[in-house]
Structure 1
Amino acid sequence: MDANAVKRHYWVRSFLLAGFTVLLAELIWSGSLSQYLAPRLHMLSYVTLGVFCLLTIASIRQAVIGPTAYECDCEDAHKLPRNRWISIVVYSLFALPLLMGFVMPDKILGSSLAEKRGVTLLTGESHWVKKVTVAAPLSEEGAGGESGSGRLPESSGTGQKANAAAITGEAGDASSSRQEVEVVPIDSNSSGTNSIESKNTDTGHASGNTTATDEELRALFNPEQFGGFYTDLAVKMYKQPVILLDDKLFLDGLTTMDLFSKEFAGKEVQTMGFVYREAGFSPEQFVVARFSVSCCTADATVFGILVEVPEASKWKTDSWVQVRGKLELRKVNEYDMLVLKASKVEKVEAPKDPYVYYNFETAPSP
């Protein structure tokens, strides 16, 4: 191969390597890397950046002062492309994603992907939302503190149509639905004999009581059932006048409330996320949701809390809101479903890192 042709190949490769180096450096420097990778993998990105720098330098050196002929009889094993069109196709496979990385803006995941993957609430399924709505319509009488949870599966196809039909069913079906769905009222000022399991009644503390000792609270949350981590975290959360589900606590906090849904009935919660709706939700309902990333956004899953508030329809889908209210416990199909009866909803800006992660760290001393 002509010496100039060899050098052209190495110059093209050098520019491609330099482009990937600059792109990765820009993502790291601007903080946008968190929109693609979980923080625990950022160190590997730093190593990759170092490797890119070395490869770029080596390729430029080869293009400037490197030999243009093989010193061994092995050219056929790793020869450069000799056809111009083949070269264009091969290098375009690298140039196209590089160009897209520079031209296309960073965008956080939202409702369009959540609808395809499904949203995990705290227990249950999306069509249970209809039963929750019929059994406990949004009113002053139903605004007491309770908690519950549900599973929101994929929102496409026949399943979504069935859910929509169920949620928008005629009011005449309300009486039969009430027989199927049991709503468990929670009185935060009572002893909890009708709403808390027997282990709670034995301690003499209702879900809204925050004056219990640490020993009594640990007995309430039964460390032998779910392990010390969630027990410690439950005690810490339970003692807070308002449970703040921030970015660090969001996933572990939801898991804790799922494990101890009856115990957290009536507790006040404040959290932040994007607004998600599924076809068939009532005008008073939306989900405040967050994406959880284990490694990268390709494996992202969605977690959230079902919110009920009279003016819910004024909050646009995918807008970011901060919600505060009391947890309500609904019993649906023998499962406890947590619903957040919001008392305050405010529009906020999306955080710089919009995703949340499991910590699995030792819970701070309550």
Structure 2
Amino acid sequence: MDLKRTGALLGLAALTTVGLAACSDNNAGSGDQAAQQVADAECGGKAALKASGASSQNNAMTVFANSYAMSCEGQTLDYNSNGSGAGVKEFIGGQTDFGGSDSPLKDEEYTQAEQRCEGEAWNLPAVFGPIAVAYNLEGAEVAMSGETLAKIFNGEITKWNDEAIAAENEGVELPDQDITVIFRSDESGTTDNFQKYLEAASNGAWTQEAGKTFNGGIGEGAKGNEGVSAAVAQTPGTITYTEWSYAKSQDLGMVKVITPADAEGVALDAETAGKTIDSAKLKNEGSNDLVIDTSSFYVPEAGGAYPILMPTYEIVCSQYSDPETAEAVKSFLKIAVSEDVQGQLEGEGYIPVPDAFRDKLTGAIDAIQ
């Protein structure tokens, strides 16, 4: 079974007032159609921006780029959905104007980024995407705890009718069928965030640590959210972790995640994910480097909060060597985080930036030089 998939390449051309020109090889939702013109947009800087990175935000980036081109005549974004690892490397290497990553920069990456920037590099979370634990199992809706999920993804549990799964799903008919884990073969912030959840919520069952590379040691790899979701859709008995919009577009089953506050499990939807975002805290209050402390997400105290939620960061220079690039990046990001444009995201499987957080984002964007 060949589960490799190529990443999506999003190329956006200049738009007229009549319509949009956009394409993506593997868009999961209707992002290539959605857009919102921002009437009071502050447009400026160079005409063509280039960015790359997390595939989890690909559909959101399509909405942002379409809205940017509608709001700022003659200005476009070319976003390559090639994964968080590539996005960080290409930004640090000066190949792109900003990068997209599901994990903030590491210490050594901050140091490397400062060499291409005129100052610090900042992580700005413009997209919030829930991670679905998606599966292909006919006729069964299942709930699982973090401990059970950890044991599936590290190979301790290998059958769908295992006692641990059955105990968490009384009355559900579970088949005597092998579980096949599908994991991200590329470096991925989605992988990093999912493994951080397993570390935090598994009562010690996950000992493989986190990171952008899958550390479970089992299963079959596929590239990108596009690849893993398509592989699960094609193969009964499989399970994966993927960004919500891809699970929805493939009509996959999604695990209800059991938390200390919800023994029956919490289904993933906009309301349950929104409760999680409301609890967001920054690691460095008062800084324009807006890294979110996700530790409180994974074991929520509040009932009805879906625990596996991932902020995706736009990684920017605090000061660019080229003022034209700085102005264009600021213009694009202010449009992207605006209330009207964020309001387009729920249909694409994302959770709009909360109002209280928007002020912090716009303040940081305004500070880019």
TM-score over 0.5 (shorter chain) = no
Band the TM-score falls in, shorter-chain normalisation: under 0.3
Structure (1 or 2) with the greater helix fraction? 1
Structure (1 or 2) with the greater strand fraction? 2
Report 1 or 2 for greater relative contact order, CA contacts < 8 Å, sequence distance ≥ 6.
2
TM-score (norm 2): 0.22
TM-score (norm 1): 0.22
